[in-house]
Amino acid sequence: MRTIITIVIATAVILAIGCGSRQSPPYSEHPVDFAYEIDGQVHHLSQARGRPVVLVLVRIAELTSDLFMEQVVEAFTRTAGKTFFLVLTIAPNEAPMLEQYVELKDLPFSIGLADWSVAQGETRLGLIPVVPSTYLIGPDGRVRDMAPGFVSGDVLIRAIEKRGWR
């Protein structure tokens, strides 16, 4: 058992070191844009230029995304102002459930449906490594940071405040 734990820890350290030495991902060099739909209206991410964006990609039917939504609401509530929160599902089959989900969870924002190109990895975001994933996009439309998986509301708030986006 101790050997297995040692191997897991060693692998995690190697991966962390390897990831830390990678060059910036290609999406960080260019503005990101794609279409999404909220309440039957088609929008484009580029319409938010000039404002920082917290982009959260989810699948509402997954427990991790459902639990993460509480953290997103906390960050949204505590940083309401200059930062634009955009929560999108990447699962087209969830589109009919979005309005009911927002009402059921009493969310202070709508959830939209990302264009299929986002889920297919065909945007400047690249492949979505895990859902949920959170992207911090600067006023210039470029991704500044990305957090795969579950992130606490406090960590998300600190990342927003660190950039002066509050």
Domain ranges, ordered by start, for the chain:
27-162
Q: Which two tokens stand for residue 14?
A: 């190697």
Cα(70)–Cα(74) distance, integer angstroms: 6
pTM score: 0.81
pLDDT at 82: 75
| Contact present, 133 and 23 (Cβ < 8 Å) | no
* Three-point CA angle 117, 32, 26, nearest 5°: 95
* Average pLDDT over all residues of the chain: 83
What is the second-level CATH architecture of the domain 27-162?
3-Layer(aba) Sandwich (3.40)
* pLDDT per position as a tens digit, 17-42: 333 333 345 455 889 999 999 989 99
| Contact present, 110 and 72 (Cβ < 8 Å) | no
